[in-house]
C-alpha cells in the first residue's frame, strides 16, 4: 500500500511539474509580448499553448491513454470545468507617435525641456493639479536611462493616462530629450 501511495505522490509531483512548465511558458509569452510593446517591429505574437501536454506522457501511458483520474484520487482536489479551447488571438502592437518621432536636442534635466506653459498644462491635466506628483515624476524620469524605463514607469504610475493624447505626447517628447 505504501508503494502505491508513493507512486500516487510521484504522479502528483509530475502533474505539478508539468503545470509549472505551462506557467513558465505562459510567463515567457507574456514577457515576449511586453518586450514587443517597446520594439519597433509589430509582428504578431502567438500565445498558442497547445505545444504543451496537459498531462505528462508517463501518466498517460500508465492510464492506457486515458485522461481520467485514478479512482482513488481525492475528490476535493478535483475541479470540474468545461472550457472550450480556441486559438489564441493574434495581437499586433502599435507604438505611440512619441516613441518614434524625433525629439529635440538632448537635455540633462527634463525640466529644461518643459516650458512654463507646458508645466502648467501637465500639472493640471496629467498630474491632477498636484505639483508634488509632477516633481516626483520628473525626478524619477531624470534618474532613468532608457525610454523603456520611462514608459514602464509612466504606465505603472499613471495608468489613467491616454498614451495617444496630445498632452502625453508633449510630456513624453520632453522625456525623450532626457533619455534616448
pLDDT single digits (tens) 99-146: 777 878 999 999 999 999 999 999 999 999 999 999 999 999 999 999
48-52, 76-80, 153-157, 171-175: which has the minimum mean pLDDT?
A: 48-52
Determine what percent of the chain falls in helix, strand and coil, rounding each to the nearest 5.
55, 0, 45
- Summarize pLDDT for 72-109 with one digit per residue, the tens: 666 655 555 555 656 666 666 677 778 777 878 999 99
Q: What is the mean pLDDT of the chain?
A: 76
Q: With cut-offs at 50, 70 and 90, classify the pLDDT of residue 38.
A: low
Q: Please tell me the pTM assigned to this model.
A: 0.48
The DSSP code for 167 is H
pLDDT of residue 158: 95
Nearest-5° Cα angle at 104, 96 to 118 = 75
Distances (CA, A) of 16 to 12, 13, 20, 139: 6, 5, 6, 45
| pLDDT over 90 percentage in the chain | 39
Angle at 144 between CA 139 and CA 149, to 5 degrees: 120
Check residues 155 and 101 and name the one with the higher pLDDT: 155
pLDDT of residue 2: 65
Size of the chain in residues? 180
Q: Where are the domains of the chain?
A: 2-77, 97-178
Amino acid at each position: 500500500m505504501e508503494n502505491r501511495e508513493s507512486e500516487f505522490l510521484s504522479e502528483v509531483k509530475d502533474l505539478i511539474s508539468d503545470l509549472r512548465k505551462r506557467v513558465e511558458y505562459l510567463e515567457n509569452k507574456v514577457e515576449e509580448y511586453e518586450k514587443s510593446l517597446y520594439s519597433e517591429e509589430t509582428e504578431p505574437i502567438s500565445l498558442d499553448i497547445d505545444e504543451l501536454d496537459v498531462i505528462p506522457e508517463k501518466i498517460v501511458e500508465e492510464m492506457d491513454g486515458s485522461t481520467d483520474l485514478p479512482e482513488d484520487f481525492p475528490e476535493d482536489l478535483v475541479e470540474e470545468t468545461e472550457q472550450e479551447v480556441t486559438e489564441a488571438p493574434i495581437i499586433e502592437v502599435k507604438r505611440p507617435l512619441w516613441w518614434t518621432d524625433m525629439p529635440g536636442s538632448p537635455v540633462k534635466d527634463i525640466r529644461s525641456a518643459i516650458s512654463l506653459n507646458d508645466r502648467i498644462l501637465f500639472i493640471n491635466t496629467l498630474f491632477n493639479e498636484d505639483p508634488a506628483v509632477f516633481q516626483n515624476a520628473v525626478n524619477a524620469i531624470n534618474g532613468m536611462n532608457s525610454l523603456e524605463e520611462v514608459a514602464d514607469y509612466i504606465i505603472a504610475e499613471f495608468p489613467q493616462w491616454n498614451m495617444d493624447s496630445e498632452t502625453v505626447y508633449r510630456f513624453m517628447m520632453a522625456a525623450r530629450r532626457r533619455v534616448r
